Structure 1
């Protein structure tokens, strides 16, 4: 059988579009003008939700490490996360105001300064990454509403790849839109089996327009969703350890568990969306 290979990187230039945000991860320190190193910190804290990561000078590596704590034990159990995000909004400590309120009992544990590092409304976005082929681990690039208003809260999943769904011959990719608390959006999520090994580099992308969202893998459109949130959204890029999906002998296996990201890019059409 022919060895599965990485899908090649796209050039930064994209015909008909202008590049407005990018990180090629070519440094050895994280650019905190582009990424916040925490995961929904208002529901936990910046320290508790801090990611484990490293930069090679050519890529970003997001890790789950053996001694890493759960990011929000009171409301998300033993789930461990290493994630970056491009924005943050919350109310004061003790309030119920904050992005992606995944549990109705949540209150702000640590107030966060408002940050809009990259919160576009519409555009074409892509990443090139390697997922983790181990059950219990999930890698995702997704978008959430900036949520200055509670209803501005829909989710766009660009890629959601579970380790148990990866083989050398095929892998499943989850994508679509979720309502969350936005009454104008209906849940519409898909999971496609693709003839790729997602533990190798592949490109996952979405074009979000005022009327629809197109999803792509390796430059091939997989589906159009005829819905569109109409407010600014931010990006979430991370690896998750999901305890209910872990194999029993995992503790004896090698640490860390690592996903690798070659780049992330955001584009706008030269002539805007008309």
Structure 2
């Protein structure tokens, strides 16, 4: 379904039901397998080199994939250390080596180091995505889901829908806690980031969600001509009349932001249980 102005729900209201048709993309990562026709298992590979961008992952049981940060994993770029990432994304795009053309040029000093060409495996201009995850509880980690402008037509098409960013430190309770009340809520960040798109205004919000984020829970996003709506476990947590109207790639990221710690246990991890997506209306 596509939103229309009178139907834009507000935070606290029920999230709109899924379309009455089969998803255009659906993946439960059976056996921990990553589909070549849907996923690029690298993080923005054009801005770095292959040995630094590649994701680490393992099966999370019969279904689901466990994104990993392993002890020997390299930083995404030497210049950005400490920053290690395991990411899945549904498209790649870059210009030639040495140019500034490429998806999510989030800093002005980035230039292409690996020419990845253009592969738009799934990059809708409007639609809906449901992602079921279990967030990381490991020190220094963050789990995030974004829809980011591919920029294959113009660097201006660079806006981002941040479905959520959850810091491990915010996953109160976690797996080792006996505090049921603490484990039943988490503060996440969600909203819109304009980046290089002067047609959008950045609007990020901290939202408190009544879930145990260390266990399976589902985030949803619906965007189209009337705006953007983000929800968690069937309730709207964010709505805006703004929405990008160009191709967006889905990105699911596990970051380690704080660097290696001798006291930390590796691998650090988060689980992606399922993804469903519908393009357009």
**Normalized against structure 2, the TM-score is what?**
0.86
- Preserved contact between residue 190 and residue 238 of structure 2 (Cα < 8 Å): no
Cα distance in 1 for partners of 2:275, 2:64 equals: 10
1:252 aligns with 2:252: no
CA deviation string 1:147-206 (max 9, x = no partner)? 021000001111110011111322111110000000100000111122222111111111
Cα distance in 2 for partners of 1:236, 1:178 equals: 14
CA deviation string 1:92-120 (max 9, x = no partner)? 01111111112211111111121001001
1:207 aligns with 2:222: yes
Cα distance in 1 for partners of 2:166, 2:32 equals: 26
1:163 aligns with 2:158: no
CA gap 1:15/1:92 in 2 versus in 1, 3 angstroms: closer
Matching residue within 75, 99, 103 for 2:103: 99
Q: More deviation in 19-28 or 213-222?
A: 19-28
Partner of 2:177: none
Secondary structure of the structure 1 residue equivalent to 2:207: strand
Matching residue within 168, 174, 186 for 2:189: 174
Once superposed, which parts of structure 1, at least 4 consecutive aligned residues long, lie more than 6 Å away? none
- Preserved contact between residue 215 and residue 221 of structure 1 (Cα < 8 Å): yes
Cα distance in 1 for partners of 2:208, 2:137 equals: 15
Q: CA deviation at 1:268?
A: 4.2
Q: CA deviation at 1:223?
A: 2.1
Q: CA deviation at 1:52?
A: 0.7
CA gap 1:101/1:159 in 2 versus in 1, 3 angstroms: same
Cα distance in 1 for partners of 2:50, 2:171 equals: 32
Q: How many residues align?
A: 253
Q: CA deviation at 1:222?
A: 1.4
- Preserved contact between residue 132 and residue 139 of structure 1 (Cα < 8 Å): yes
Partner of 1:266: 277
Cα distance in 1 for partners of 2:33, 2:230 equals: 31
Partner of 1:184: 199
Cα distance in 1 for partners of 2:156, 2:262 equals: 41
Q: CA deviation at 1:28?
A: 3.9
CA gap 1:14/1:105 in 2 versus in 1, 3 angstroms: closer
- Preserved contact between residue 133 and residue 199 of structure 1 (Cα < 8 Å): yes
Cα distance in 2 for partners of 1:268, 1:231 equals: 12
RMSD: 1.6
CA gap 1:40/1:15 in 2 versus in 1, 3 angstroms: closer
Within-5 A mapping of 1:1-274: 14-55=18-59, 56-74=61-79, 76-148=80-152, 149-168=154-173, 169=182, 170-243=185-258, 250-268=261-279, 272=281
Q: CA deviation at 1:128?
A: 0.6
Q: CA deviation at 1:210?
A: 1.3
CA gap 1:175/1:127 in 2 versus in 1, 3 angstroms: same
CA gap 1:96/1:268 in 2 versus in 1, 3 angstroms: closer
Cα distance in 2 for partners of 1:17, 1:173 equals: 30
Cα distance in 2 for partners of 1:90, 1:183 equals: 21
- Preserved contact between residue 70 and residue 81 of structure 1 (Cα < 8 Å): yes
